[in-house]
Chains A and B, each alone.
Chain A
Protein backbone atom coordinates (compact mmCIF):
# COMPACT_ATOMS: atom_id res chain seq x y z
CA UNK A 1 0.00 0.00 0.00
CA UNK A 2 1.31 3.41 -0.97
CA UNK A 3 0.88 6.34 1.43
CA UNK A 4 0.90 9.99 0.45
CA UNK A 5 3.57 12.01 2.22
CA UNK A 6 2.01 13.92 5.15
CA UNK A 7 2.67 17.31 3.56
CA UNK A 8 0.95 16.32 0.32
CA UNK A 9 -2.02 14.87 2.19
CA UNK A 10 -2.34 18.04 4.25
CA UNK A 11 -2.15 20.19 1.13
CA UNK A 12 -4.87 18.10 -0.49
CA UNK A 13 -7.01 18.31 2.61
CA UNK A 14 -6.55 22.05 2.91
CA UNK A 15 -7.34 22.70 -0.72
CA UNK A 16 -10.53 20.64 -0.36
CA UNK A 17 -11.41 22.54 2.79
CA UNK A 18 -10.61 25.83 1.05
CA UNK A 19 -12.85 24.86 -1.84
CA UNK A 20 -15.76 24.62 0.54
CA UNK A 21 -14.90 27.26 3.14
CA UNK A 22 -13.76 30.02 0.80
CA UNK A 23 -17.16 29.70 -0.82
CA UNK A 24 -18.74 30.19 2.57
CA UNK A 25 -17.86 33.83 3.17
CA UNK A 26 -19.21 35.17 -0.15
CA UNK A 27 -22.09 32.80 0.41
CA UNK A 28 -22.75 34.40 3.82
CA UNK A 29 -22.52 37.84 2.23
CA UNK A 30 -25.02 36.90 -0.46
CA UNK A 31 -27.39 35.42 2.06
CA UNK A 32 -27.08 38.52 4.24
CA UNK A 33 -27.78 40.88 1.34
CA UNK A 34 -30.78 38.81 0.26
CA UNK A 35 -32.06 38.90 3.86
CA UNK A 36 -31.67 42.68 3.94
CA UNK A 37 -33.44 43.05 0.59
CA UNK A 38 -36.26 40.78 1.77
CA UNK A 39 -36.75 42.65 5.06
CA UNK A 40 -36.88 46.06 3.37
CA UNK A 41 -39.31 44.86 0.71
CA UNK A 42 -41.57 43.14 3.25
CA UNK A 43 -41.66 46.31 5.39
CA UNK A 44 -42.68 48.44 2.39
CA UNK A 45 -45.29 45.95 1.28
CA UNK A 46 -46.87 45.56 4.73
CA UNK A 47 -47.04 49.37 4.94
CA UNK A 48 -48.95 49.46 1.64
CA UNK A 49 -51.20 46.63 2.82
CA UNK A 50 -51.96 48.53 6.02
CA UNK A 51 -53.19 51.49 3.97
CA UNK A 52 -55.30 49.15 1.84
CA UNK A 53 -57.02 47.65 4.89
CA UNK A 54 -57.81 51.04 6.39
CA UNK A 55 -59.08 52.32 3.03
CA UNK A 56 -61.32 49.25 2.64
CA UNK A 57 -62.79 49.85 6.07
CA UNK A 58 -63.41 53.53 5.25
CA UNK A 59 -65.04 52.59 1.93
CA UNK A 60 -67.39 50.19 3.77
CA UNK A 61 -68.11 52.81 6.40
CA UNK A 62 -69.12 55.37 3.76
CA UNK A 63 -71.24 52.88 1.87
CA UNK A 64 -72.98 51.49 4.95
CA UNK A 65 -73.73 54.97 6.29
CA UNK A 66 -75.89 55.97 3.33
CA UNK A 67 -79.45 56.72 4.41
CA UNK A 68 -78.70 56.45 8.15
CA UNK A 69 -79.58 58.96 10.85
CA UNK A 70 -76.82 60.83 12.70
CA UNK A 71 -77.26 58.53 15.70
CA UNK A 72 -77.03 55.38 13.60
CA UNK A 73 -73.97 56.78 11.83
CA UNK A 74 -72.28 57.30 15.17
CA UNK A 75 -73.05 53.68 16.19
CA UNK A 76 -71.70 52.48 12.84
CA UNK A 77 -68.48 54.47 13.32
CA UNK A 78 -67.99 52.81 16.72
CA UNK A 79 -68.53 49.36 15.16
CA UNK A 80 -65.61 50.06 12.83
CA UNK A 81 -63.22 50.94 15.66
CA UNK A 82 -61.63 47.47 15.41
CA UNK A 83 -59.56 48.62 12.43
CA UNK A 84 -57.14 50.21 14.88
CA UNK A 85 -56.35 46.73 16.26
CA UNK A 86 -55.46 45.48 12.81
CA UNK A 87 -53.21 48.50 12.24
CA UNK A 88 -51.42 47.76 15.52
CA UNK A 89 -50.93 44.14 14.44
CA UNK A 90 -49.52 45.17 11.07
CA UNK A 91 -47.18 47.65 12.74
CA UNK A 92 -45.83 44.77 14.85
CA UNK A 93 -45.25 42.77 11.67
CA UNK A 94 -43.45 45.73 10.07
CA UNK A 95 -41.23 46.05 13.12
CA UNK A 96 -40.41 42.35 12.82
CA UNK A 97 -39.47 42.80 9.15
CA UNK A 98 -37.28 45.80 9.99
CA UNK A 99 -35.50 43.86 12.74
CA UNK A 100 -34.95 41.00 10.31
CA UNK A 101 -33.30 43.53 7.97
CA UNK A 102 -31.03 44.70 10.77
CA UNK A 103 -30.20 41.13 11.76
CA UNK A 104 -29.04 40.27 8.24
CA UNK A 105 -27.07 43.54 8.06
CA UNK A 106 -25.31 42.51 11.28
CA UNK A 107 -24.74 39.01 9.89
CA UNK A 108 -23.12 40.56 6.80
CA UNK A 109 -20.80 42.53 9.08
CA UNK A 110 -19.88 39.37 10.96
CA UNK A 111 -18.92 37.75 7.66
CA UNK A 112 -16.24 40.40 7.12
CA UNK A 113 -12.72 39.24 7.85
CA UNK A 114 -12.11 42.18 10.15
CA UNK A 115 -14.69 41.21 12.71
CA UNK A 116 -14.62 43.22 15.87
CA UNK A 117 -16.41 42.64 19.13
CA UNK A 118 -18.71 45.55 18.41
CA UNK A 119 -20.25 43.62 15.50
CA UNK A 120 -20.78 40.65 17.79
CA UNK A 121 -22.49 42.79 20.43
CA UNK A 122 -24.64 44.47 17.80
CA UNK A 123 -25.95 41.19 16.41
CA UNK A 124 -26.79 40.02 19.94
CA UNK A 125 -28.96 43.04 20.68
CA UNK A 126 -30.68 42.92 17.26
CA UNK A 127 -31.38 39.19 17.62
CA UNK A 128 -32.86 39.71 21.09
CA UNK A 129 -35.15 42.47 19.80
CA UNK A 130 -36.15 40.28 16.83
CA UNK A 131 -36.99 37.42 19.15
CA UNK A 132 -39.17 39.67 21.34
CA UNK A 133 -40.97 41.04 18.28
CA UNK A 134 -41.50 37.47 17.04
CA UNK A 135 -42.99 36.42 20.38
CA UNK A 136 -45.41 39.35 20.28
CA UNK A 137 -46.54 38.24 16.83
CA UNK A 138 -46.79 34.50 17.39
CA UNK A 139 -50.10 34.82 19.24
CA UNK A 140 -51.60 36.90 16.42
CA UNK A 141 -55.30 36.40 15.83
CA UNK A 142 -54.61 36.61 12.11
CA UNK A 143 -52.97 33.17 12.30
CA UNK A 144 -55.09 30.02 12.17
CA UNK A 145 -54.68 27.47 15.01
CA UNK A 146 -52.91 25.15 12.53
CA UNK A 147 -50.39 27.90 11.70
CA UNK A 148 -49.82 28.74 15.38
CA UNK A 149 -49.35 25.04 16.11
CA UNK A 150 -46.90 24.60 13.22
CA UNK A 151 -44.84 27.55 14.48
CA UNK A 152 -44.44 25.98 17.90
CA UNK A 153 -43.07 22.78 16.38
CA UNK A 154 -39.88 24.05 14.79
CA UNK A 155 -37.30 21.71 13.30
CA UNK A 156 -33.72 21.44 14.51
CA UNK A 157 -30.98 22.60 12.16
CA UNK A 158 -27.58 20.90 12.32
CA UNK A 159 -24.96 23.65 12.31
CA UNK A 160 -21.75 23.08 10.33
CA UNK A 161 -18.68 25.11 11.16
CA UNK A 162 -17.86 28.08 8.93
CA UNK A 163 -14.37 29.53 8.35
CA UNK A 164 -15.22 32.61 10.35
CA UNK A 165 -15.35 31.83 14.05
CA UNK A 166 -17.76 34.67 14.70
CA UNK A 167 -20.19 33.30 12.11
CA UNK A 168 -19.91 29.76 13.48
CA UNK A 169 -20.62 31.05 16.96
CA UNK A 170 -23.63 33.02 15.74
CA UNK A 171 -25.09 30.07 13.82
CA UNK A 172 -24.58 27.72 16.74
CA UNK A 173 -26.41 30.11 19.04
CA UNK A 174 -29.27 31.18 16.82
CA UNK A 175 -29.78 28.96 13.77
CA UNK A 176 -33.12 27.65 15.01
CA UNK A 177 -34.29 30.98 16.42
CA UNK A 178 -33.81 32.76 13.07
CA UNK A 179 -35.41 29.82 11.27
CA UNK A 180 -38.45 30.31 13.49
CA UNK A 181 -38.59 34.08 12.76
CA UNK A 182 -38.53 33.34 9.02
CA UNK A 183 -41.33 30.78 9.38
CA UNK A 184 -43.31 33.37 11.35
CA UNK A 185 -42.85 35.93 8.54
CA UNK A 186 -44.20 33.45 6.00
CA UNK A 187 -47.21 32.46 8.14
CA UNK A 188 -48.10 36.11 8.83
CA UNK A 189 -47.81 37.09 5.16
CA UNK A 190 -50.07 34.16 4.17
CA UNK A 191 -52.64 35.22 6.78
CA UNK A 192 -52.42 38.81 5.62
CA UNK A 193 -52.98 37.83 2.01
CA UNK A 194 -56.25 36.07 2.90
CA UNK A 195 -57.57 39.20 4.59
CA UNK A 196 -56.28 41.78 2.14
CA UNK A 197 -57.65 39.93 -0.87
CA UNK A 198 -61.22 40.65 0.24
CA UNK A 199 -60.37 44.18 1.38
CA UNK A 200 -59.02 45.01 -2.05
CA UNK A 201 -62.12 43.57 -3.68
CA UNK A 202 -64.27 45.81 -1.44
CA UNK A 203 -62.20 48.89 -2.25
CA UNK A 204 -62.52 48.16 -5.92
CA UNK A 205 -66.23 47.46 -5.83
CA UNK A 206 -67.35 50.23 -3.47
CA UNK A 207 -64.75 52.76 -4.48
CA UNK A 208 -65.08 52.37 -8.21
CA UNK A 209 -68.87 52.54 -7.91
CA UNK A 210 -68.58 55.78 -5.87
CA UNK A 211 -65.65 57.44 -7.65
CA UNK A 212 -65.69 56.04 -11.17
CA UNK A 213 -69.00 54.53 -12.31
CA UNK A 214 -71.51 56.95 -10.75
CA UNK A 215 -69.74 60.20 -11.67
CA UNK A 216 -69.25 58.84 -15.20
CA UNK A 217 -72.87 57.66 -15.67
CA UNK A 218 -74.31 60.81 -14.12
CA UNK A 219 -71.84 62.93 -16.10
CA UNK A 220 -70.67 64.81 -13.01
CA UNK A 221 -66.90 64.47 -13.29
CA UNK A 222 -65.54 67.72 -11.90
CA UNK A 223 -61.85 67.04 -12.47
CA UNK A 224 -61.14 64.71 -15.38
CA UNK A 225 -57.42 64.34 -14.60
CA UNK A 226 -58.22 63.28 -11.04
CA UNK A 227 -60.86 60.85 -12.34
CA UNK A 228 -58.29 59.29 -14.71
CA UNK A 229 -55.77 58.91 -11.88
CA UNK A 230 -58.38 57.34 -9.59
CA UNK A 231 -59.49 54.89 -12.25
CA UNK A 232 -55.86 53.88 -12.78
CA UNK A 233 -55.35 53.28 -9.06
CA UNK A 234 -58.43 51.04 -8.87
CA UNK A 235 -57.34 49.02 -11.86
CA UNK A 236 -53.76 48.57 -10.65
CA UNK A 237 -54.41 47.78 -6.97
CA UNK A 238 -54.72 43.96 -7.35
CA UNK A 239 -50.94 43.93 -7.86
CA UNK A 240 -50.51 44.29 -4.11
CA UNK A 241 -52.13 40.90 -3.51
CA UNK A 242 -49.80 39.32 -6.06
CA UNK A 243 -46.86 41.00 -4.31
CA UNK A 244 -48.01 39.54 -0.98
CA UNK A 245 -48.02 36.10 -2.52
CA UNK A 246 -44.49 36.71 -3.83
CA UNK A 247 -43.44 37.94 -0.38
CA UNK A 248 -44.63 34.73 1.23
CA UNK A 249 -42.70 32.73 -1.40
CA UNK A 250 -39.64 34.87 -0.79
CA UNK A 251 -39.85 34.28 2.99
CA UNK A 252 -40.02 30.56 2.32
CA UNK A 253 -37.01 30.71 -0.01
CA UNK A 254 -35.01 32.82 2.40
CA UNK A 255 -35.70 30.21 5.07
CA UNK A 256 -34.48 27.40 2.73
CA UNK A 257 -31.39 29.46 1.96
CA UNK A 258 -30.81 29.99 5.68
CA UNK A 259 -31.13 26.24 6.42
CA UNK A 260 -28.78 25.33 3.53
CA UNK A 261 -26.24 27.89 4.75
CA UNK A 262 -26.43 26.74 8.37
CA UNK A 263 -26.19 23.07 7.46
CA UNK A 264 -23.33 23.64 5.02
CA UNK A 265 -25.04 22.08 2.01
CA UNK A 266 -22.55 23.25 -0.56
CA UNK A 267 -22.88 20.58 -3.19
CA UNK A 268 -23.32 21.92 -6.71
CA UNK A 269 -27.11 21.34 -7.17
CA UNK A 270 -27.85 22.82 -3.71
CA UNK A 271 -25.61 25.80 -4.44
CA UNK A 272 -27.30 26.42 -7.80
CA UNK A 273 -30.76 26.13 -6.20
CA UNK A 274 -29.75 28.54 -3.45
CA UNK A 275 -28.40 31.11 -5.89
CA UNK A 276 -31.62 30.88 -7.89
CA UNK A 277 -33.66 31.34 -4.67
CA UNK A 278 -31.62 34.35 -3.62
CA UNK A 279 -32.06 35.89 -7.06
CA UNK A 280 -35.81 35.44 -6.79
CA UNK A 281 -35.81 37.19 -3.38
CA UNK A 282 -34.02 40.14 -4.95
CA UNK A 283 -36.51 40.08 -7.85
CA UNK A 284 -39.31 40.16 -5.28
CA UNK A 285 -37.76 43.23 -3.66
CA UNK A 286 -37.75 44.95 -7.06
CA UNK A 287 -41.38 43.98 -7.72
CA UNK A 288 -42.45 45.46 -4.37
CA UNK A 289 -40.81 48.75 -5.27
CA UNK A 290 -42.91 48.76 -8.44
CA UNK A 291 -46.13 47.71 -6.66
CA UNK A 292 -45.87 50.30 -3.89
CA UNK A 293 -44.72 53.18 -6.06
Chain B
Protein backbone atom coordinates (compact mmCIF):
# COMPACT_ATOMS: atom_id res chain seq x y z
CA UNK B 1 0.00 0.00 0.00
CA UNK B 2 1.33 3.45 -0.89
CA UNK B 3 2.20 5.90 1.90
CA UNK B 4 -0.56 8.19 0.62
CA UNK B 5 -3.25 5.48 0.88
CA UNK B 6 -1.92 4.34 4.26
CA UNK B 7 -1.99 7.86 5.69
CA UNK B 8 -5.41 8.58 4.17
CA UNK B 9 -6.87 5.38 5.63
CA UNK B 10 -5.45 6.23 9.05
CA UNK B 11 -6.77 9.78 9.06
CA UNK B 12 -10.17 9.01 7.54
CA UNK B 13 -11.03 5.79 9.32
CA UNK B 14 -9.11 5.83 12.60
CA UNK B 15 -9.23 9.52 13.40
CA UNK B 16 -11.99 11.42 11.57
CA UNK B 17 -14.68 8.72 11.64
CA UNK B 18 -14.54 8.06 15.43
CA UNK B 19 -14.28 11.81 16.16
CA UNK B 20 -17.36 12.46 13.99
CA UNK B 21 -19.18 9.75 15.91
CA UNK B 22 -18.36 11.30 19.28
CA UNK B 23 -18.23 15.00 18.31
CA UNK B 24 -21.49 15.78 20.12
CA UNK B 25 -20.34 14.25 23.42
CA UNK B 26 -16.95 15.95 23.21
CA UNK B 27 -18.54 19.36 22.60
CA UNK B 28 -20.92 18.80 25.51
CA UNK B 29 -17.99 17.89 27.77
CA UNK B 30 -16.60 21.44 27.31
CA UNK B 31 -19.69 22.86 29.01
CA UNK B 32 -19.88 26.51 28.07
CA UNK B 33 -16.15 26.86 27.31
CA UNK B 34 -16.31 28.49 23.87
CA UNK B 35 -12.57 28.72 23.44
CA UNK B 36 -12.02 25.01 23.86
CA UNK B 37 -14.97 24.22 21.62
CA UNK B 38 -13.56 26.50 18.93
CA UNK B 39 -10.10 24.92 19.24
CA UNK B 40 -11.61 21.43 18.90
CA UNK B 41 -13.63 22.45 15.85
CA UNK B 42 -10.57 24.12 14.31
CA UNK B 43 -8.62 20.88 14.75
CA UNK B 44 -11.42 19.02 12.92
CA UNK B 45 -11.31 21.51 10.05
CA UNK B 46 -7.51 21.22 9.93
CA UNK B 47 -7.86 17.45 9.72
CA UNK B 48 -10.28 17.84 6.77
CA UNK B 49 -7.75 20.10 5.04
CA UNK B 50 -4.98 17.54 5.53
CA UNK B 51 -7.16 14.77 4.12
CA UNK B 52 -8.09 16.94 1.15
CA UNK B 53 -4.44 17.74 0.49
CA UNK B 54 -3.48 14.05 0.63
CA UNK B 55 -6.37 13.25 -1.75
CA UNK B 56 -5.03 15.75 -4.25
CA UNK B 57 -1.24 15.75 -3.92
CA UNK B 58 1.38 13.04 -4.05
CA UNK B 59 3.93 14.08 -1.40
CA UNK B 60 7.35 12.73 -2.32
CA UNK B 61 8.78 12.44 1.18
CA UNK B 62 5.63 10.99 2.79
CA UNK B 63 6.90 7.39 3.13
CA UNK B 64 10.04 8.51 4.95
CA UNK B 65 8.18 10.83 7.32
CA UNK B 66 5.36 8.37 7.94
CA UNK B 67 7.84 5.62 8.82
CA UNK B 68 9.82 7.99 11.03
CA UNK B 69 6.70 9.01 13.01
CA UNK B 70 4.72 5.76 12.73
CA UNK B 71 5.20 4.68 16.35
CA UNK B 72 4.23 8.09 17.73
CA UNK B 73 1.20 8.38 15.45
CA UNK B 74 -0.03 4.85 16.15
CA UNK B 75 0.35 5.31 19.91
CA UNK B 76 -1.65 8.53 19.75
CA UNK B 77 -4.37 6.86 17.65
CA UNK B 78 -4.57 3.98 20.14
CA UNK B 79 -4.90 6.46 22.99
CA UNK B 80 -7.66 8.24 21.06
CA UNK B 81 -9.56 4.99 20.50
CA UNK B 82 -9.17 4.07 24.16
CA UNK B 83 -10.46 7.43 25.42
CA UNK B 84 -13.38 7.37 22.99
CA UNK B 85 -14.41 3.93 24.20
CA UNK B 86 -14.96 5.30 27.73
CA UNK B 87 -18.21 7.14 28.05
CA UNK B 88 -16.97 9.83 30.42
CA UNK B 89 -13.60 10.44 28.84
CA UNK B 90 -14.60 12.92 26.16
CA UNK B 91 -12.24 15.60 27.45
CA UNK B 92 -9.24 13.26 27.25
CA UNK B 93 -10.39 12.28 23.76
CA UNK B 94 -10.31 15.94 22.72
CA UNK B 95 -6.78 16.35 24.10
CA UNK B 96 -5.52 13.20 22.37
CA UNK B 97 -7.27 14.27 19.16
CA UNK B 98 -5.30 17.56 19.19
CA UNK B 99 -2.12 15.50 19.60
CA UNK B 100 -3.00 13.22 16.66
CA UNK B 101 -3.78 16.20 14.41
CA UNK B 102 -0.49 17.81 15.46
CA UNK B 103 1.55 14.69 14.60
CA UNK B 104 -0.24 14.28 11.25
CA UNK B 105 0.35 17.96 10.43
CA UNK B 106 4.06 17.54 11.22
CA UNK B 107 4.34 14.46 8.96
CA UNK B 108 2.63 16.25 6.07
CA UNK B 109 4.61 19.45 6.54
CA UNK B 110 7.93 17.56 6.47
CA UNK B 111 6.97 15.26 3.56
Contact = CB atoms under 8 A, between A and B. Distances in A.
A60 B17 contact: no
B17 A79 contact: no
A69 B38 contact: yes
B56 A205 contact: no
26 contacts: A60-B20, A60-B48, A63-B20, A63-B23, A63-B44, A64-B44, A64-B45, A66-B37, A67-B41, A68-B37, A69-B34, A72-B41, A79-B45, A79-B48, A141-B55, A141-B57, A142-B55, A144-B5, A144-B58, A145-B58, A146-B2, A198-B12, A201-B13, A201-B17, A206-B23, A209-B21
Give 7 nearest A-B pairs by CB, closest first: A67-B37, A141-B56, A198-B12, A205-B20, A64-B44, A205-B21, A64-B41
B12 A206 contact: no
Interface in A159-215: 194-195, 198, 201-202, 205-206, 209, 214
A206 B20 contact: yes
Contacts of A60: 20, 44, 48
A198 B13 contact: yes
Interface residues of A, number: 27
A67 to B, nearest CB: 4
B27 A66 contact: yes
Contact of A195 (B23, B37, B38, B55): B55
A171 B43 CA distance: 55
Interface of A: 60, 63-69, 72, 76, 79-80, 82, 141-142, 144-146, 194-195, 198, 201-202, 205-206, 209, 214
A64 B42 CA distance: 8
B99 interface: no
A194 B108 CA distance: 20
A80 B48 CA distance: 9
A206 B56 CA distance: 24
Nearest to A85: B56
A192 to B, nearest CB: 11
A141 B23 CA distance: 30
A105 to B, nearest CB: 34
A198 B13 CA distance: 8
